[in-house]
Amino acid sequence: MNCHLLGRVGALLLWFFGFWSASCGGNSTPASAPVTDEAAAVIPTVQTPVPLPEIGGFDAEVQRELREGHNAIQVAIKAGNVTGEQYGRLGMQFAAYGLIDAAEAAYLNARRLEPELFRWGYYLGVLYDESSRPEEAIDMLESALALSPGYVAGIARLGDLLVDQDRATEARRRYADALALDQTCHPCLVGLGQIALQERDFVRAVDYLEQAVTLAPWANTTRYPLAMAYRGQGDEDAAQAQLQARTDGILNTGMGRQIDRPGVYDALLEELVAVSTTGNVALEARGVLAAREGRWADAIDDFNQLVAADPENAVSRNLLAMALLTTGDRDGAKLQYEAAVRVDPTHARANLQLGILLVEEGLETEATMRFRQAVKFDPGSNLAYLNLAGALLRSGEAAEAVGVYGELLQLDPSNAPARLGRAFALIRDGRHGEAKARLQEDMQARPNELAFPHTLVRLLATSPEAGVRDGRLALELVQQVSAELQNGEVAETTAMVMAELGAFDRAVRFQELAIDLAEQAGRSDLSAQLRGMLAFYRQGQPSRRPFRDNDPVFFPAPFRPPGVFDESVP
């Protein structure tokens, strides 16, 4: 069982995806307990009517399931033998499909008939919590926990509710109770850290939150309040380190935000989740949730069922393809993408991803066609433009590539890959003066990107157009670049600058350094080409070619950012 869970902040998601349990480690479903006076006092004695709610908008299968559940209750009522269990199960069905009022009525009846059971009160508390009725949720959970005081997931949930209602003292006590039962109660540590932060007790906040991070280092969300606690202590370095760790750790599943907040194992919620399995909507939601939790095998299983149920649905096929691609099943993914664009030629995302797979197979013409479709049907997609332009550049259609990069830059003026791609395309197209001007703008727009000054240096040092060349400026810039970056390419660039300035001895030395580095990297092909230029330098001839025709800058790899589908990255 994977331990990634929805926290309370993901309450809406709980509705969206049905009640997915908070789960990790721990305790099982609580047993029945004697009804205490405190608990009995709040249990209603009058049975609440449970009419069948409006279910017209649901999948037919879901409607059938709900009707059957409701009919069974009606039969039992007429027979005079309805049980709390029947009401409770019906309440779970209603709750799983977001039918709050009906679920509440059914749970209330279940609780009346089986007052000794923890679960119905607990489910009511959860229902109130997830429908933003915090005071009722607190009352109900307190009442339920009187029956089962050791149910850690319930205590933690109650603690979270109390924190949000500014009832810190009570929350602190609940968290302490939970931690006494389960030292790995992550939400308890986070909650205590949250209270300490609110009270500006930063030392204590650091203590709790560090414990939480130690317990679940993959839960990057926790690093933010920890950073705030360190900041409050005046330890800026520690704060920045936590922020950096958080940023580095963020993953995009391609299916929405990753869920990375651990909870406490909650057997009752797991039961609840298991109820909502009917219909394609539930199947899709469950698969997406599994993907966001990193349970890719489960996700693939769900998406496969979804595709089997509706083979002509491009969205389902796209989801399956994404999951397959993430797990390395490239061929399986390609089949699904092909099917997706067959049933829906306008599916931009499937066109895009299929295009990327085709590039990897060397099928540039077919890939370019897919990228054109992606741009056509999703003209706001950065990835579609970048891949189309890249495909054009690789195919030698540099002028058209310049135009496509330009279109993207109209929409996203700071886009660094587009700016760099445009520069390479302009150089490839022989428009060195224009490339120089654009690169100077690029340096202003993206001052931290070394690729722009580095590329400009090569133009300034080697352009065949005398008006473009500027050896002094090239020297100034290459010094800035080499202060930040030392590698074979920079060495080669430095050699170009030295040659342009007439310092051929130094050009030779830098070129030899570049050759050494290429050989150390096992790049004998590159080494040979560098030696060719070395001969020119030895003869006192500068370079007049910023990049070799086969330089990788003219053959950009397909743009597939980390996280399979994280289109926000470029």
> Which residues within the stretch 270-289 sit at the binding site for another protein (CB under 8 A)?
281-282, 284-285
Ramachandran region, residue 29 (left: φ > 0; alpha: ψ -120 to 50; beta: rest): beta
Residues of this chain, 320-359, that bind another protein according to CB under 8 A: 346, 348
Q: How far is the CB of 568 from another protein (least distance, A)?
A: 5
Q: Given the structure tokens 């990069």, which residue do they identify?
A: 405
Please report, as residue ranges, which positions from 182 to 201 form the binding site for another protein (by CB under 8 A).
190, 194, 197-198, 200
In which element (H, E) is residue 452 found? helix 451-462
Q: What is the CA radius of gyration of the chain?
A: 31
* Closest approach of another protein to the CB of residue 362, in Å: 28
Closer CB to another protein, 97 or 120, in the complex: 97
* Interacting residues with another protein between 521 and 540 (CB under 8 A): none
Angle, CA of 243, 244 and 245, to the nearest 5° = 90
Segment contacting another protein by CB under 8 A, of 126-134, 175-183, 506-514, 554-562 = 126-134
Which position among 87, 97, 452, 510 is part of the footprint of another protein (CB under 8 A)? 97
Q: Judged by CB under 8 A, which of 44, 217, 256, 502 binds another protein?
A: 256
Q: Does residue 445 interact with another protein by CB under 8 A? A: yes
CB 393 within 8 A of CB 555: yes
The residue within the footprint of another protein, chosen from 5, 22, 106, 163 (CB under 8 A), is 163
Of 426, 380, 371, the closest CA to residue 400 belongs to 426
Nearer Cβ to another protein, position 414 or 480?
414
Per CB under 8 A, 405 contacts another protein: no
Task: Choose which of 6, 22, 62, 518 interacts with another protein (CB under 8 A).
Answer: 62
Tell me which of 99, 138, 307, 323 binds another protein, using CB under 8 A.
Answer: 99
By CB under 8 A, what part of segment 302-321 binds another protein? 315
Within residues 207-246, the interface with another protein by CB under 8 A covers 220-225, 227-228, 231-232, 236, 239-240, 243, 246
The nearer residue to another protein, 290 or 497, going by C-beta atoms, is: 290
Q: Which two tokens stand for residue 480?
A: 């800035």
Cβ distance to another protein smaller for residue 256 or 502 = 256
One residue of 86, 93, 131, 305 binding another protein per CB under 8 A? 131
- Residue 446 is a binding residue for another protein (CB under 8 A): yes
User: 368 vs 415, which CB is nearer to another protein?
Assistant: 415
Q: Identify which of residues 129 and 397 has a Cβ nearer to another protein in the complex.
A: 129
Residue type, 368: T
**58 in contact with another protein (CB under 8 A):** yes
Answer yes or no: are the C-beta atoms of 121 and 144 closer than 8 Å: yes
Burial class (CB in 10 A: 0-12, 13-18, 19+), 568: exposed
Q: Show Cβ contacts of residue 27 under 8 Å, excluding neighbours closer than 6 positions.
A: 150, 151, 152, 153, 181, 182, 265, 267
Q: Which is nearer to another protein, 21 or 148 (CB)?
A: 21
Closest CA to 384 of 417, 342, 360, 414: 417
Minimum CB–partner distance for residue 167 and another protein (Å): 9
Would residue 228 be called left, alpha or beta, if left means φ above 0 and alpha means ψ between -120 and 50 degrees? alpha
DSSP string, 52-120: ----TTS-HHHHHHHHHHHHHHHHHHHHT---HHHHHHHHHHHHHTT-HHHHHHHHHHHHHH-TT-HHH
Q: Which of 121, 60, 120, 136 is nearest to 87 (CA)?
A: 120
What angle is formed at CA 468 by the lines to CA 462 and CA 469, rounded to 5 degrees?
Answer: 45
Number of residues in contact with another protein, rule: CB under 8 A?
A: 74
